Structure 1
Protein backbone atom coordinates (compact mmCIF):
# COMPACT_ATOMS: atom_id res chain seq x y z
CA UNK A 1 0.00 0.00 0.00
CA UNK A 2 1.25 3.48 -0.89
CA UNK A 3 2.21 5.68 2.06
CA UNK A 4 -0.05 8.56 2.98
CA UNK A 5 1.79 11.84 3.62
CA UNK A 6 0.06 14.89 5.08
CA UNK A 7 1.40 18.30 4.07
CA UNK A 8 0.62 21.49 5.97
CA UNK A 9 1.39 24.72 4.14
CA UNK A 10 0.72 23.07 0.79
CA UNK A 11 -0.52 26.27 -0.86
CA UNK A 12 2.88 27.91 -0.39
CA UNK A 13 5.81 27.63 -2.78
CA UNK A 14 7.79 24.98 -0.88
CA UNK A 15 4.70 23.07 0.29
CA UNK A 16 3.19 22.81 -3.19
CA UNK A 17 6.48 21.57 -4.60
CA UNK A 18 6.76 18.97 -1.83
CA UNK A 19 3.32 17.72 -2.90
CA UNK A 20 4.48 17.47 -6.52
CA UNK A 21 7.58 15.51 -5.52
CA UNK A 22 5.60 13.18 -3.27
CA UNK A 23 3.16 12.42 -6.08
CA UNK A 24 6.10 11.74 -8.39
CA UNK A 25 7.31 9.17 -5.90
CA UNK A 26 3.94 7.41 -5.76
CA UNK A 27 2.72 8.67 -2.38
CA UNK A 28 -0.86 9.38 -1.46
CA UNK A 29 -0.81 13.07 -0.55
CA UNK A 30 -3.20 14.97 1.69
CA UNK A 31 -3.01 18.70 2.17
CA UNK A 32 -4.38 20.74 5.04
CA UNK A 33 -5.66 24.06 3.71
CA UNK A 34 -7.47 26.80 5.55
CA UNK A 35 -11.03 27.53 4.40
CA UNK A 36 -9.92 31.04 3.38
CA UNK A 37 -7.11 29.77 1.12
CA UNK A 38 -7.21 30.99 -2.47
CA UNK A 39 -9.36 28.73 -4.64
CA UNK A 40 -6.86 28.78 -7.52
CA UNK A 41 -4.14 27.31 -5.30
CA UNK A 42 -6.50 24.64 -3.98
CA UNK A 43 -7.55 23.78 -7.53
CA UNK A 44 -3.93 23.30 -8.57
CA UNK A 45 -3.40 20.87 -5.72
CA UNK A 46 -6.56 18.94 -6.63
CA UNK A 47 -5.50 18.82 -10.27
CA UNK A 48 -2.28 17.07 -9.30
CA UNK A 49 -4.22 14.47 -7.32
CA UNK A 50 -3.82 15.84 -3.81
CA UNK A 51 -6.62 15.15 -1.34
CA UNK A 52 -7.73 18.44 0.20
CA UNK A 53 -8.65 18.69 3.87
CA UNK A 54 -10.09 22.10 4.70
CA UNK A 55 -9.70 22.87 8.38
CA UNK A 56 -8.34 25.53 10.66
CA UNK A 57 -5.03 24.79 12.35
CA UNK A 58 -6.75 25.51 15.66
CA UNK A 59 -9.32 22.73 15.10
CA UNK A 60 -7.74 19.75 16.84
CA UNK A 61 -10.55 17.33 15.95
CA UNK A 62 -10.31 18.37 12.29
CA UNK A 63 -6.55 17.93 12.36
CA UNK A 64 -6.84 14.51 14.00
CA UNK A 65 -9.22 13.39 11.23
CA UNK A 66 -6.75 14.66 8.63
CA UNK A 67 -3.94 12.68 10.29
CA UNK A 68 -5.76 9.32 10.33
CA UNK A 69 -3.73 6.67 8.49
CA UNK A 70 -0.85 9.06 7.79
CA UNK A 71 2.74 7.79 7.97
CA UNK A 72 4.42 11.21 8.09
CA UNK A 73 3.35 14.82 8.53
CA UNK A 74 5.37 17.43 6.62
CA UNK A 75 4.99 21.01 7.82
CA UNK A 76 5.92 23.77 5.37
CA UNK A 77 4.17 26.43 7.42
CA UNK A 78 5.60 29.94 7.59
CA UNK A 79 4.85 32.66 10.10
CA UNK A 80 5.55 33.94 13.57
CA UNK A 81 4.82 32.45 17.01
CA UNK A 82 1.13 31.86 16.25
CA UNK A 83 2.11 29.62 13.34
CA UNK A 84 5.54 28.12 14.02
CA UNK A 85 4.88 27.40 17.70
CA UNK A 86 1.10 27.43 18.30
CA UNK A 87 -0.26 26.04 15.02
CA UNK A 88 2.52 23.48 14.65
CA UNK A 89 1.90 22.37 18.24
CA UNK A 90 -1.77 21.81 17.39
CA UNK A 91 -0.72 19.80 14.35
CA UNK A 92 1.76 17.83 16.46
CA UNK A 93 -0.88 17.11 19.09
CA UNK A 94 -3.27 15.87 16.40
CA UNK A 95 -0.60 13.70 14.78
CA UNK A 96 0.17 12.04 18.10
CA UNK A 97 -3.52 11.43 18.82
CA UNK A 98 -3.93 9.84 15.38
CA UNK A 99 -0.88 7.63 15.85
CA UNK A 100 1.28 9.23 13.16
CA UNK A 101 4.84 7.90 13.65
CA UNK A 102 6.87 10.71 12.03
CA UNK A 103 6.86 14.50 11.74
CA UNK A 104 9.00 16.85 9.62
CA UNK A 105 8.71 20.36 11.12
CA UNK A 106 9.08 23.60 9.18
CA UNK A 107 12.79 23.95 9.89
CA UNK A 108 13.92 24.66 6.33
CA UNK A 109 16.68 27.14 7.08
CA UNK A 110 20.25 27.56 8.30
CA UNK A 111 21.27 25.07 10.99
CA UNK A 112 19.91 26.94 14.00
CA UNK A 113 21.45 24.44 16.42
CA UNK A 114 24.75 26.27 15.77
CA UNK A 115 23.33 29.71 16.56
CA UNK A 116 22.84 31.48 19.87
CA UNK A 117 19.45 32.66 21.20
CA UNK A 118 18.76 36.10 19.78
CA UNK A 119 20.86 35.62 16.66
CA UNK A 120 17.75 35.13 14.53
CA UNK A 121 14.21 35.79 15.82
CA UNK A 122 12.54 33.49 13.28
CA UNK A 123 14.96 30.67 14.04
CA UNK A 124 14.38 31.12 17.77
CA UNK A 125 10.71 30.30 17.14
CA UNK A 126 11.80 27.07 15.50
CA UNK A 127 14.01 26.31 18.49
CA UNK A 128 10.97 26.77 20.73
CA UNK A 129 9.02 24.25 18.69
CA UNK A 130 12.08 21.98 18.65
CA UNK A 131 11.93 21.75 22.44
CA UNK A 132 8.22 20.88 22.24
CA UNK A 133 8.53 18.16 19.62
CA UNK A 134 11.60 16.64 21.28
CA UNK A 135 9.54 16.10 24.44
CA UNK A 136 6.90 14.17 22.49
CA UNK A 137 6.83 10.51 21.48
CA UNK A 138 6.83 11.21 17.75
CA UNK A 139 9.96 10.77 15.63
CA UNK A 140 11.00 14.13 14.25
CA UNK A 141 13.38 14.96 11.42
CA UNK A 142 14.48 18.52 10.72
CA UNK A 143 15.89 19.32 7.28
CA UNK A 144 18.40 22.17 7.26
CA UNK A 145 18.97 23.49 3.74
CA UNK A 146 20.95 26.62 4.54
CA UNK A 147 19.57 29.66 2.74
CA UNK A 148 17.21 29.37 -0.21
CA UNK A 149 19.23 30.18 -3.32
CA UNK A 150 16.67 32.64 -4.69
CA UNK A 151 17.58 35.20 -1.98
CA UNK A 152 20.62 35.98 -4.13
CA UNK A 153 18.24 37.48 -6.71
CA UNK A 154 17.13 40.19 -4.27
CA UNK A 155 20.31 42.32 -4.37
CA UNK A 156 21.21 41.54 -0.78
CA UNK A 157 24.65 42.81 0.38
CA UNK A 158 26.16 39.39 -0.34
CA UNK A 159 25.35 39.82 -4.04
CA UNK A 160 24.41 43.33 -5.09
CA UNK A 161 24.01 43.16 -8.87
CA UNK A 162 23.00 46.81 -9.16
CA UNK A 163 26.27 48.07 -7.73
CA UNK A 164 28.33 45.01 -8.71
CA UNK A 165 29.43 44.54 -5.11
CA UNK A 166 29.84 41.55 -2.81
CA UNK A 167 30.08 42.27 0.90
CA UNK A 168 31.52 39.95 3.53
CA UNK A 169 32.61 40.16 7.16
CA UNK A 170 36.10 40.25 8.65
CA UNK A 171 37.77 36.85 8.32
CA UNK A 172 34.88 35.47 6.25
CA UNK A 173 36.13 35.92 2.68
CA UNK A 174 36.58 32.14 2.34
CA UNK A 175 33.59 31.23 4.53
CA UNK A 176 31.44 28.81 2.52
CA UNK A 177 27.71 29.54 2.78
CA UNK A 178 25.07 26.84 2.32
CA UNK A 179 22.48 27.43 -0.41
CA UNK A 180 19.74 25.13 -1.74
CA UNK A 181 16.96 25.87 -4.21
CA UNK A 182 13.33 25.44 -3.22
CA UNK A 183 12.96 22.73 -5.90
CA UNK A 184 15.87 20.68 -4.54
CA UNK A 185 14.70 21.14 -0.95
CA UNK A 186 11.23 19.92 -1.94
CA UNK A 187 12.63 16.85 -3.72
CA UNK A 188 14.80 15.94 -0.75
CA UNK A 189 11.97 16.50 1.73
CA UNK A 190 9.66 14.24 -0.24
CA UNK A 191 12.28 11.49 -0.23
CA UNK A 192 12.80 11.94 3.52
CA UNK A 193 9.05 11.82 4.20
CA UNK A 194 8.92 8.38 2.58
CA UNK A 195 12.00 7.13 4.44
CA UNK A 196 11.19 5.51 7.78
CA UNK A 197 14.83 5.53 8.91
CA UNK A 198 15.59 9.25 8.93
CA UNK A 199 17.75 10.64 11.75
CA UNK A 200 16.79 13.67 13.88
CA UNK A 201 18.64 16.07 11.59
CA UNK A 202 19.47 16.08 7.89
CA UNK A 203 21.69 18.77 6.40
CA UNK A 204 21.76 19.58 2.70
CA UNK A 205 23.36 22.18 0.46
CA UNK A 206 22.89 22.39 -3.29
CA UNK A 207 25.92 24.70 -3.29
CA UNK A 208 28.48 25.72 -0.69
CA UNK A 209 30.12 28.93 -1.87
CA UNK A 210 32.31 31.63 -0.34
CA UNK A 211 32.14 35.36 -1.13
CA UNK A 212 35.44 34.99 -3.00
CA UNK A 213 34.05 32.13 -5.09
CA UNK A 214 30.77 33.97 -5.59
CA UNK A 215 32.68 36.89 -7.12
CA UNK A 216 34.00 34.57 -9.85
CA UNK A 217 30.53 33.16 -10.53
CA UNK A 218 29.01 36.65 -10.64
CA UNK A 219 31.64 37.83 -13.12
CA UNK A 220 30.83 34.91 -15.43
CA UNK A 221 27.08 35.50 -15.14
CA UNK A 222 27.01 39.29 -15.44
CA UNK A 223 30.03 39.92 -17.63
CA UNK A 224 32.04 42.22 -15.38
CA UNK A 225 33.96 42.13 -12.12
CA UNK A 226 32.31 42.53 -8.72
CA UNK A 227 33.94 44.60 -5.98
CA UNK A 228 34.68 42.56 -2.86
CA UNK A 229 34.07 44.76 0.17
CA UNK A 230 34.69 43.95 3.84
CA UNK A 231 31.97 45.47 6.02
CA UNK A 232 33.48 44.94 9.47
CA UNK A 233 33.21 42.21 12.05
CA UNK A 234 30.25 39.91 12.49
CA UNK A 235 30.09 40.97 16.14
CA UNK A 236 29.72 44.64 15.18
CA UNK A 237 27.00 43.71 12.69
CA UNK A 238 25.13 41.81 15.43
CA UNK A 239 25.26 44.86 17.69
CA UNK A 240 23.99 47.05 14.88
CA UNK A 241 21.07 44.67 14.27
CA UNK A 242 20.16 44.81 17.97
CA UNK A 243 20.14 48.59 17.83
CA UNK A 244 17.86 48.67 14.77
CA UNK A 245 15.56 46.11 16.38
CA UNK A 246 15.14 48.29 19.46
CA UNK A 247 14.36 51.29 17.27
CA UNK A 248 11.71 49.40 15.31
CA UNK A 249 9.50 47.53 17.82
CA UNK A 250 6.70 47.28 15.25
CA UNK A 251 8.91 44.79 13.44
CA UNK A 252 8.22 42.23 16.16
CA UNK A 253 4.82 41.70 14.53
CA UNK A 254 6.16 41.36 10.97
CA UNK A 255 7.66 38.25 9.41
CA UNK A 256 10.51 39.98 7.59
CA UNK A 257 11.22 43.42 9.10
CA UNK A 258 14.48 45.08 8.07
CA UNK A 259 16.34 43.85 11.13
CA UNK A 260 15.14 40.28 10.56
CA UNK A 261 16.49 40.40 7.03
CA UNK A 262 19.81 41.47 8.54
CA UNK A 263 19.63 38.53 10.94
CA UNK A 264 19.32 36.16 8.00
CA UNK A 265 22.51 37.61 6.50
CA UNK A 266 24.21 37.29 9.89
CA UNK A 267 23.13 33.65 10.13
CA UNK A 268 24.66 32.84 6.74
CA UNK A 269 28.06 33.86 8.08
CA UNK A 270 27.60 32.48 11.61
CA UNK A 271 26.61 28.86 10.91
CA UNK A 272 27.50 26.39 8.19
CA UNK A 273 27.26 22.69 7.47
CA UNK A 274 30.48 20.82 8.21
CA UNK A 275 28.92 17.63 6.83
CA UNK A 276 26.07 17.29 4.35
CA UNK A 277 23.61 14.49 3.65
CA UNK A 278 23.02 15.17 -0.05
CA UNK A 279 23.92 11.62 -1.07
CA UNK A 280 21.28 9.98 1.13
CA UNK A 281 18.78 10.09 -1.75
CA UNK A 282 20.34 9.55 -5.20
CA UNK A 283 18.75 11.11 -8.24
CA UNK A 284 18.51 14.73 -7.12
CA UNK A 285 20.35 16.94 -9.62
CA UNK A 286 21.47 19.68 -7.27
CA UNK A 287 21.26 23.09 -8.93
CA UNK A 288 24.33 25.29 -8.95
CA UNK A 289 24.30 28.99 -8.12
CA UNK A 290 24.88 29.79 -11.79
CA UNK A 291 21.94 27.68 -12.91
CA UNK A 292 19.64 29.08 -10.24
CA UNK A 293 20.50 32.69 -11.06
CA UNK A 294 20.14 32.33 -14.84
Structure 2
Protein backbone atom coordinates (compact mmCIF):
# COMPACT_ATOMS: atom_id res chain seq x y z
CA UNK A 1 0.00 0.00 0.00
CA UNK A 2 1.11 3.58 -0.53
CA UNK A 3 0.53 6.91 1.11
CA UNK A 4 -2.29 8.85 -0.59
CA UNK A 5 0.12 11.72 -1.20
CA UNK A 6 3.10 13.31 0.38
CA UNK A 7 0.86 15.73 2.25
CA UNK A 8 -2.25 13.63 2.70
CA UNK A 9 -4.05 15.76 0.12
CA UNK A 10 -5.55 14.50 -3.11
CA UNK A 11 -3.66 15.66 -6.20
CA UNK A 12 -4.99 16.13 -9.71
CA UNK A 13 -2.79 15.57 -12.76
CA UNK A 14 -3.43 16.42 -16.40
CA UNK A 15 -4.66 13.73 -18.75
CA UNK A 16 -2.06 12.27 -21.11
CA UNK A 17 -2.28 13.44 -24.69
CA UNK A 18 -3.94 10.93 -27.01
CA UNK A 19 -1.53 9.93 -29.76
CA UNK A 20 -2.77 9.25 -33.26
CA UNK A 21 -2.26 5.88 -34.89
CA UNK A 22 -1.70 5.26 -38.58
CA UNK A 23 -2.96 2.23 -40.53
CA UNK A 24 0.20 0.21 -39.91
CA UNK A 25 0.04 0.84 -36.18
CA UNK A 26 -3.52 -0.49 -36.04
CA UNK A 27 -2.16 -3.96 -36.85
CA UNK A 28 0.72 -3.69 -34.38
CA UNK A 29 -1.11 -2.91 -31.16
CA UNK A 30 0.52 -4.25 -28.02
CA UNK A 31 -1.51 -5.85 -25.25
CA UNK A 32 -0.27 -4.89 -21.80
CA UNK A 33 -1.42 -6.15 -18.43
CA UNK A 34 -1.03 -3.67 -15.56
CA UNK A 35 -1.04 -5.00 -12.01
CA UNK A 36 -1.82 -2.37 -9.40
CA UNK A 37 -3.89 -0.59 -12.03
CA UNK A 38 -5.86 1.61 -9.63
CA UNK A 39 -2.91 2.88 -7.56
CA UNK A 40 -1.42 6.36 -7.80
CA UNK A 41 1.14 5.23 -10.38
CA UNK A 42 -0.64 2.27 -11.96
CA UNK A 43 -3.77 4.24 -12.83
CA UNK A 44 -1.67 6.80 -14.71
CA UNK A 45 0.28 4.05 -16.49
CA UNK A 46 -3.06 2.67 -17.71
CA UNK A 47 -4.17 6.06 -19.00
CA UNK A 48 -0.87 6.65 -20.80
CA UNK A 49 -0.91 3.21 -22.41
CA UNK A 50 -4.43 3.79 -23.68
CA UNK A 51 -3.41 7.19 -25.02
CA UNK A 52 -0.60 5.47 -26.93
CA UNK A 53 -3.02 3.03 -28.54
CA UNK A 54 -2.28 -0.10 -26.54
CA UNK A 55 -4.84 -2.68 -25.50
CA UNK A 56 -4.74 -2.75 -21.71
CA UNK A 57 -5.82 -5.33 -19.16
CA UNK A 58 -6.14 -3.99 -15.63
CA UNK A 59 -5.57 -6.55 -12.88
CA UNK A 60 -7.55 -5.35 -9.88
CA UNK A 61 -9.30 -6.69 -6.83
CA UNK A 62 -13.09 -6.94 -6.91
CA UNK A 63 -13.34 -3.97 -4.54
CA UNK A 64 -11.46 -1.72 -6.97
CA UNK A 65 -13.27 -2.49 -10.22
CA UNK A 66 -15.37 0.67 -10.03
CA UNK A 67 -12.19 2.80 -9.93
CA UNK A 68 -11.31 1.94 -13.52
CA UNK A 69 -12.30 4.29 -16.35
CA UNK A 70 -14.53 3.10 -19.17
CA UNK A 71 -12.57 2.64 -22.39
CA UNK A 72 -13.07 0.35 -25.41
CA UNK A 73 -9.47 -0.90 -25.19
CA UNK A 74 -9.46 -1.45 -21.43
CA UNK A 75 -10.41 -4.87 -20.07
CA UNK A 76 -10.93 -5.58 -16.39
CA UNK A 77 -9.25 -8.66 -14.90
CA UNK A 78 -10.42 -9.39 -11.37
CA UNK A 79 -7.72 -11.06 -9.34
CA UNK A 80 -4.83 -10.70 -6.93
CA UNK A 81 -1.17 -11.64 -7.07
CA UNK A 82 -1.76 -13.90 -4.07
CA UNK A 83 -4.15 -16.01 -6.21
CA UNK A 84 -1.13 -17.86 -7.59
CA UNK A 85 0.24 -18.52 -11.08
CA UNK A 86 -2.51 -20.96 -12.10
CA UNK A 87 -5.26 -18.42 -11.48
CA UNK A 88 -3.28 -15.53 -12.94
CA UNK A 89 -2.43 -17.25 -16.21
CA UNK A 90 -5.87 -16.59 -17.71
CA UNK A 91 -5.23 -12.87 -17.34
CA UNK A 92 -1.85 -12.90 -19.10
CA UNK A 93 -2.71 -15.25 -21.97
CA UNK A 94 -2.21 -13.23 -25.16
CA UNK A 95 -0.35 -10.43 -23.35
CA UNK A 96 2.99 -9.21 -24.68
CA UNK A 97 4.09 -7.04 -21.74
CA UNK A 98 3.30 -7.09 -18.02
CA UNK A 99 3.71 -3.91 -15.97
CA UNK A 100 3.67 -4.33 -12.20
CA UNK A 101 2.90 -1.18 -10.20
CA UNK A 102 2.04 -2.93 -6.96
CA UNK A 103 3.24 -1.89 -3.53
CA UNK A 104 3.55 -3.85 -0.32
CA UNK A 105 5.74 -6.07 1.75
CA UNK A 106 7.56 -9.28 0.79
CA UNK A 107 4.31 -11.18 0.27
CA UNK A 108 3.54 -8.80 -2.61
CA UNK A 109 6.89 -7.62 -3.97
CA UNK A 110 8.60 -11.02 -3.80
CA UNK A 111 5.97 -13.76 -3.56
CA UNK A 112 3.15 -12.07 -5.48
CA UNK A 113 5.31 -10.81 -8.32
CA UNK A 114 6.94 -14.23 -8.60
CA UNK A 115 3.51 -15.79 -9.14
CA UNK A 116 2.76 -13.19 -11.79
CA UNK A 117 6.10 -13.93 -13.46
CA UNK A 118 5.44 -17.67 -13.41
CA UNK A 119 2.05 -17.08 -15.04
CA UNK A 120 3.69 -14.85 -17.63
CA UNK A 121 6.27 -17.53 -18.41
CA UNK A 122 3.57 -20.13 -19.03
CA UNK A 123 1.65 -17.70 -21.25
CA UNK A 124 4.68 -16.80 -23.37
CA UNK A 125 4.77 -13.14 -22.31
CA UNK A 126 7.81 -11.40 -23.80
CA UNK A 127 8.64 -8.78 -21.16
CA UNK A 128 7.83 -7.68 -17.63
CA UNK A 129 8.43 -4.34 -15.92
CA UNK A 130 8.61 -5.05 -12.18
CA UNK A 131 7.53 -2.57 -9.52
CA UNK A 132 10.89 -0.81 -9.08
CA UNK A 133 10.30 2.85 -10.09
CA UNK A 134 12.84 4.29 -7.71
CA UNK A 135 16.47 5.35 -7.45
CA UNK A 136 19.08 3.07 -9.03
CA UNK A 137 18.26 0.01 -6.92
CA UNK A 138 21.04 -1.99 -8.56
CA UNK A 139 23.76 0.56 -7.86
CA UNK A 140 24.25 -0.70 -4.31
CA UNK A 141 24.10 -4.03 -2.54
CA UNK A 142 21.93 -5.73 0.04
CA UNK A 143 21.53 -4.29 3.50
CA UNK A 144 21.36 -0.62 2.54
CA UNK A 145 17.59 -0.33 2.09
CA UNK A 146 14.93 -2.79 3.15
CA UNK A 147 12.52 -1.91 0.32
CA UNK A 148 15.28 -2.09 -2.29
CA UNK A 149 16.22 -5.51 -0.94
CA UNK A 150 12.71 -6.83 -1.62
CA UNK A 151 12.89 -5.69 -5.24
CA UNK A 152 16.42 -7.00 -5.66
CA UNK A 153 15.36 -10.44 -4.39
CA UNK A 154 12.53 -10.50 -6.90
CA UNK A 155 14.81 -9.41 -9.75
CA UNK A 156 16.81 -12.60 -9.22
CA UNK A 157 13.71 -14.55 -10.24
CA UNK A 158 14.37 -13.54 -13.86
CA UNK A 159 17.55 -15.62 -13.99
CA UNK A 160 16.86 -18.28 -16.60
CA UNK A 161 13.36 -16.95 -17.28
CA UNK A 162 12.07 -16.64 -20.85
CA UNK A 163 10.40 -13.39 -19.78
CA UNK A 164 12.80 -10.46 -20.20
CA UNK A 165 13.03 -8.03 -17.30
CA UNK A 166 12.93 -4.27 -17.90
CA UNK A 167 13.60 -2.25 -14.74
CA UNK A 168 12.60 1.43 -14.80
CA UNK A 169 14.61 3.78 -12.56
CA UNK A 170 13.51 7.40 -12.14
CA UNK A 171 15.10 8.70 -8.94
CA UNK A 172 12.91 10.16 -6.20
CA UNK A 173 9.26 11.17 -6.49
CA UNK A 174 8.95 14.79 -5.34
CA UNK A 175 5.46 13.89 -4.10
CA UNK A 176 7.18 11.83 -1.38
CA UNK A 177 10.68 13.29 -1.20
CA UNK A 178 9.34 16.72 -0.23
CA UNK A 179 6.76 15.23 2.12
CA UNK A 180 7.02 14.65 5.85
CA UNK A 181 8.45 11.13 5.56
CA UNK A 182 11.79 12.39 4.21
CA UNK A 183 12.22 15.14 6.80
CA UNK A 184 13.61 17.56 4.21
CA UNK A 185 10.94 20.24 4.44
CA UNK A 186 9.44 21.29 7.77
CA UNK A 187 6.73 23.88 6.99
CA UNK A 188 6.05 24.64 10.66
CA UNK A 189 9.70 25.40 11.45
CA UNK A 190 10.47 26.83 8.02
CA UNK A 191 13.54 24.60 7.62
CA UNK A 192 15.15 22.70 4.75
CA UNK A 193 17.40 19.89 5.99
CA UNK A 194 20.42 18.43 4.22
CA UNK A 195 22.80 15.56 4.99
CA UNK A 196 26.25 15.89 3.48
CA UNK A 197 27.37 19.04 1.66
CA UNK A 198 24.28 19.20 -0.57
CA UNK A 199 26.28 19.53 -3.79
CA UNK A 200 25.76 16.07 -5.32
CA UNK A 201 22.98 16.07 -7.95
CA UNK A 202 19.92 14.01 -7.07
CA UNK A 203 17.38 12.58 -9.53
CA UNK A 204 13.76 13.72 -9.26
CA UNK A 205 10.80 12.59 -11.40
CA UNK A 206 7.10 13.17 -10.71
CA UNK A 207 4.65 10.29 -10.54
CA UNK A 208 2.80 11.42 -13.72
CA UNK A 209 6.08 11.67 -15.64
CA UNK A 210 7.10 8.22 -14.36
CA UNK A 211 3.82 6.86 -15.71
CA UNK A 212 4.36 8.54 -19.08
CA UNK A 213 7.88 7.17 -19.39
CA UNK A 214 6.76 3.70 -18.23
CA UNK A 215 4.05 3.51 -20.90
CA UNK A 216 6.58 4.46 -23.58
CA UNK A 217 9.11 1.95 -22.25
CA UNK A 218 6.48 -0.80 -22.07
CA UNK A 219 5.79 -0.33 -25.77
CA UNK A 220 9.49 -0.26 -26.69
CA UNK A 221 10.70 -3.81 -27.40
CA UNK A 222 14.32 -2.58 -27.43
CA UNK A 223 14.18 -2.36 -23.63
CA UNK A 224 13.98 -6.14 -23.18
CA UNK A 225 16.49 -7.31 -20.58
CA UNK A 226 17.71 -3.78 -19.75
CA UNK A 227 17.61 -1.30 -16.92
CA UNK A 228 16.15 1.92 -18.31
CA UNK A 229 17.02 5.16 -16.52
CA UNK A 230 14.91 8.26 -17.22
CA UNK A 231 14.57 11.42 -15.16
CA UNK A 232 12.52 14.55 -14.76
CA UNK A 233 15.34 16.77 -13.48
CA UNK A 234 18.71 16.45 -11.78
CA UNK A 235 19.71 19.13 -9.28
CA UNK A 236 21.62 19.42 -6.04
CA UNK A 237 19.90 19.73 -2.68
CA UNK A 238 21.09 23.33 -2.45
CA UNK A 239 19.53 24.03 -5.86
CA UNK A 240 16.35 22.30 -4.71
CA UNK A 241 16.22 24.64 -1.70
CA UNK A 242 16.52 27.60 -4.08
CA UNK A 243 13.58 26.24 -6.10
CA UNK A 244 11.53 25.78 -2.93
CA UNK A 245 12.23 29.33 -1.81
CA UNK A 246 11.38 30.76 -5.24
CA UNK A 247 8.13 28.83 -5.49
CA UNK A 248 6.98 29.42 -1.92
CA UNK A 249 8.00 33.05 -1.71
CA UNK A 250 9.51 32.51 1.72
CA UNK A 251 12.90 31.80 3.24
CA UNK A 252 13.67 28.24 4.37
CA UNK A 253 16.48 28.02 6.87
CA UNK A 254 19.16 25.56 5.76
CA UNK A 255 19.80 22.92 8.42
CA UNK A 256 22.95 20.84 7.95
CA UNK A 257 22.28 17.63 9.85
CA UNK A 258 25.70 16.06 9.43
CA UNK A 259 27.84 14.08 7.02
CA UNK A 260 26.64 11.12 4.98
CA UNK A 261 28.45 8.93 7.50
CA UNK A 262 26.40 10.63 10.23
CA UNK A 263 23.29 9.78 8.20
CA UNK A 264 24.28 6.11 8.09
CA UNK A 265 24.73 6.17 11.86
CA UNK A 266 21.30 7.78 12.30
CA UNK A 267 19.71 5.06 10.17
CA UNK A 268 21.37 2.37 12.30
CA UNK A 269 20.21 4.07 15.51
CA UNK A 270 16.62 4.29 14.28
CA UNK A 271 16.57 0.67 13.16
CA UNK A 272 17.14 -0.34 16.79
CA UNK A 273 14.61 2.07 18.27
CA UNK A 274 11.89 2.46 15.62
CA UNK A 275 8.38 1.16 16.14
CA UNK A 276 7.55 1.42 12.42
CA UNK A 277 9.44 0.99 9.15
CA UNK A 278 8.79 4.48 7.88
CA UNK A 279 10.78 5.98 10.77
CA UNK A 280 14.02 5.08 8.98
CA UNK A 281 13.38 3.76 5.46
CA UNK A 282 13.26 7.22 3.85
CA UNK A 283 16.68 7.97 5.30
CA UNK A 284 17.94 4.70 3.82
CA UNK A 285 17.01 6.04 0.39
CA UNK A 286 18.80 9.28 1.17
CA UNK A 287 22.03 7.42 1.99
CA UNK A 288 22.12 6.01 -1.56
CA UNK A 289 21.08 9.33 -3.06
CA UNK A 290 23.71 11.38 -1.24
CA UNK A 291 26.65 8.97 -1.58
CA UNK A 292 25.93 8.53 -5.29
CA UNK A 293 25.38 4.76 -5.31
CA UNK A 294 21.67 5.25 -6.07
CA UNK A 295 22.26 7.83 -8.82
CA UNK A 296 20.90 7.12 -12.27
CA UNK A 297 23.34 6.00 -14.94
CA UNK A 298 23.05 6.36 -18.73
CA UNK A 299 19.85 8.44 -18.61
CA UNK A 300 17.88 7.76 -21.81
CA UNK A 301 15.28 10.53 -21.99
CA UNK A 302 16.23 11.08 -25.63
CA UNK A 303 14.77 7.66 -26.49
CA UNK A 304 11.31 9.01 -25.61
CA UNK A 305 11.17 12.52 -27.11
CA UNK A 306 7.38 12.74 -26.85
CA UNK A 307 7.62 12.67 -23.04
CA UNK A 308 8.34 16.17 -21.74
CA UNK A 309 9.17 15.91 -18.04
CA UNK A 310 7.86 18.40 -15.51
CA UNK A 311 10.52 20.65 -14.00
CA UNK A 312 10.76 20.93 -10.24
CA UNK A 313 9.76 24.59 -10.45
CA UNK A 314 6.63 23.70 -12.44
CA UNK A 315 5.75 20.94 -9.97
CA UNK A 316 6.17 23.30 -7.01
CA UNK A 317 4.02 25.91 -8.74
CA UNK A 318 1.27 23.33 -9.15
CA UNK A 319 0.41 20.34 -6.93
CA UNK A 320 3.75 20.61 -5.13
CA UNK A 321 2.68 23.86 -3.47
CA UNK A 322 0.91 21.66 -0.91
CA UNK A 323 4.34 20.84 0.56
CA UNK A 324 4.59 24.37 1.89
CA UNK A 325 1.65 23.81 4.25
CA UNK A 326 1.61 21.65 7.35
CA UNK A 327 0.10 18.20 6.62
CA UNK A 328 -3.57 17.94 7.51
CA UNK A 329 -3.17 14.35 8.74
CA UNK A 330 -0.23 12.33 10.08
CA UNK A 331 1.35 9.61 7.97
CA UNK A 332 -0.01 6.13 8.48
CA UNK A 333 2.45 4.00 10.39
CA UNK A 334 1.06 0.54 9.66
CA UNK A 335 1.71 0.22 5.90
CA UNK A 336 4.70 -0.68 3.80
CA UNK A 337 5.46 2.78 2.41
CA UNK A 338 6.62 4.05 -0.94
CA UNK A 339 9.25 6.33 0.52
CA UNK A 340 10.70 7.84 -2.63
Q: Which moved more, 1:229-238 or 1:14-23?
A: 229-238
| Counterparts of 2:232 and 2:166, CA distance in 1 | 19
Please say if residues 158 and 211 of structure 1, whose CA atoms lie closer than 8 Å, have aligned partners that are also in contact. no
Q: CA deviation at 1:167?
A: 1.9
Gaps of 5+ in 2: 1-26, 318-340
Q: RCO higher in 1 or 2 (8 Å CA, sep ≥ 6)?
A: 2
Please say if residues 8 and 15 of structure 1, whose CA atoms lie closer than 8 Å, have aligned partners that are also in contact. yes
CA offsets, 1:145-179, max 9 Å, x none?
11112124424433333333222223x32111101
2:160 is equivalent to residue 135 of structure 1:
yes
* TM-score, length-scaled by structure 1: 0.91
| Counterparts of 1:8 and 1:81, CA distance in 2 | 16
| Counterparts of 1:204 and 1:162, CA distance in 2 | 34
Q: CA deviation at 1:20?
A: 0.2
| Counterparts of 1:48 and 1:257, CA distance in 2 | 40
2:282 is equivalent to residue 261 of structure 1:
yes
Please say if residues 46 and 52 of structure 1, whose CA atoms lie closer than 8 Å, have aligned partners that are also in contact. no
Instruction: Find the partner of 1:60 among 78, 85, 93.
Output: 85
2:39 is equivalent to residue 12 of structure 1:
yes
Gaps of 5+ in 1: none
Instruction: Find the partner of 1:3 among 21, 24, 30.
Output: 30
Alignment of 1:151-166 (within 5 A): 151-155=176-180, 156-166=182-192
2:240 is equivalent to residue 214 of structure 1:
yes
| Counterparts of 1:10 and 1:95, CA distance in 2 | 17
Please say if residues 166 and 215 of structure 1, whose CA atoms lie closer than 8 Å, have aligned partners that are also in contact. yes
Alignment of 1:106-185 (within 5 A): 106-155=131-180, 156-170=182-196, 172-185=197-210
CA offsets, 1:216-273, max 9 Å, x none?
212211113322222112122222212221223x53xxxx521113223333323212
Instruction: Find the partner of 2:56 among 5, 8, 29.
Output: 29
Alignment of 1:234-245 (within 5 A): 234-245=260-271
Partner SS state of residue 112, structure 2: helix
RMSD: 1.8
Partner SS state of residue 166, structure 1: strand
